[in-house]
Amino acid sequence: MLGKFFRKDDEEANGTAKEKQIYIEGQEEQAQEAMDFLSQDSQTDLDETLVEVSETVREAAKASLRDIKLMEEGHCPSCGHKTLRQFVFTTVCSNCGWFSFISPEEGKSIIHLKSGRQIECGTTFDTKGKFLLGITNGVVRAKVSTENVEFVEFAWTDEEIKKKRESRIKEQAGIDSWTEKPLNEYDDEDEPVIVYASFGPSQERFVFGNEDNAEAFKKQYAVRIHKNCYERPCVDCDLCTKKYNGEDETIYKQMIEDGVV
């Protein structure tokens, strides 16, 4: 669940490589001097340093994987409790207060200062060093002391919010129960189909990327523990132990339209 690098064409790829080269360009000489210094007396010192670098990268990768897997299972990467709450652009732990959020891509961020002045930028970064960086089009436009900041406003566009909510529906729906294909790989015009039915004494929830897959699933598994389980209204039926009330999807979609989630 958790994030998300793409190369659209050779020109963009070359631009990315060039940007990386510029980023390290000012430090190449310093790095080379340090390597020459360490290798003057013994190559061992240099080798040990490079091993430490590799180990640091390895530990960072392990930590990142740990956090991702914890969040995928609904656990907070900070306190470990299963208390994460997912909002449209933000994830918050209701136990310890840890949170993660993204900034607008089409909209903008507005830094409101205590003096009443406003600074508009594409996005903001908290440096954890008592400063906020305001960045627009990849360029740092402002460095503001957090002591002077009243709050930061995220001005999302309506279209951006709509796209995010639509993608969340598909992400939360998960995998097609018939093809085992991720629902986000289906065409936008295909509406997910939700089916509540029982293989055994407990009701299950099945999701399909389109109507054809749902019908194919029903034909393959026509006999259920209860007659006409596919067509029987779940709300009025008490022949199995329910896990879902049959109205979950309707309620969820209404909450999205109302802006609750």
Which residues, listed in sequence order, are joined to residue 100 by a DSSP beta bridge? 91
* 102 Cα distance to chain centroid: 9
Q: What is the tens place of the pLDDT at every residue in 68-81? A: 888 878 899 999 99
pLDDT (0 to 100) of residue 18: 42
Which residues, listed in sequence order, are joined to residue 131 by a DSSP beta bridge? 145
Band of the pLDDT at 23, cuts 50, 70, 90? low
Contact between residue 132 and residue 124 where contact means Cβ atoms under 8 Å apart:
yes
Q: Measured between alpha carbons, how far is residue 75 from residues 81, 89, 93, 173, 191 in Å? A: 5, 18, 8, 19, 30
pLDDT at 4 over 90: no
* 66 Cα distance to chain centroid: 15
Q: Measured between alpha carbons, how far is residue 220 from residues 75, 198, 206, 214, 243 in Å? A: 37, 14, 14, 10, 23
pLDDT (0 to 100) of residue 49: 83
Of 77-81, 119-123, 193-197, 239-243, the one with minimum mean pLDDT is: 239-243
pLDDT at 9 over 50: no
Polymer length of the chain: 261
Look up residue 183 and give its two tokens. Answer: 């629902």
Of 28-32, 127-131, 154-158, 246-250, the one with minimum mean pLDDT is: 246-250
Q: Which DSSP state fits 202?
A: B
Residue-averaged pLDDT of the chain: 78
pLDDT (0 to 100) of residue 45: 76
Average pLDDT, stretch 134-149? 92
Domains along the chain? 10-72 (no CATH), 103-156 (2.30.30.100), 159-257 (no CATH)
Q: What is the tens place of the pLDDT at every residue in 228-261? A: 788 877 777 778 877 766 555 554 445 545 554 4
